Amino acid sequence: MPPRRADLFACLAVGSAALALYVATLAPSYVWEDSANYMAVLRDPENRISKRMIDQYPLYFWTCRGFAAVPIGPYPWRVNLVSAVFGAAAVALVF
């Protein structure tokens, strides 16, 4: 049975609300642990450690490179925006 239009609208509304909340609370700069490591790898993809990390998470790194190319806000904010978009999409799909 295909989803009803009201269900799709509710899914879109919940996903948009989640994205607005995630963007409002987004880290504007580097944070500790994995996030800083990922941003360092994105800045310098030629070192040995980064090749291993890129092989483990290729979709995340490709998407981060695309978002990092958009000239809106500082570089760390754009990379953190990828996680916010993926999180909001997960909320919308689970709803």
Rounded CA-CA distance 17/7 in Å is 15
Rounded CA-CA distance 69/81 in Å is 12
Q: What is the average pLDDT score of the chain? A: 84
Rounded CA-CA distance 49/47 in Å is 6
Model pLDDT, residue 45 = 61
Position of tokens 């987004």?
Answer: 26
Rounded CA-CA distance 66/46 in Å is 18
Model pLDDT, residue 79 = 86
Model pLDDT, residue 67 = 85
Question: Average pLDDT per run of 10 along the chain, which is 95 residues long?
Answer: 82 94 88 74 68 78 85 86 92 89
> How wide is the angle at C-alpha 49 spanned by C-alphas 76 and 68, nearest 5°?
25
Q: Which residues contact 72 (CB under 8 A, 6 or more apart)?
A: 78
Model pLDDT, residue 22 = 94
Output the pTM of the full model. 0.78
CA 85 to chain centre: 5
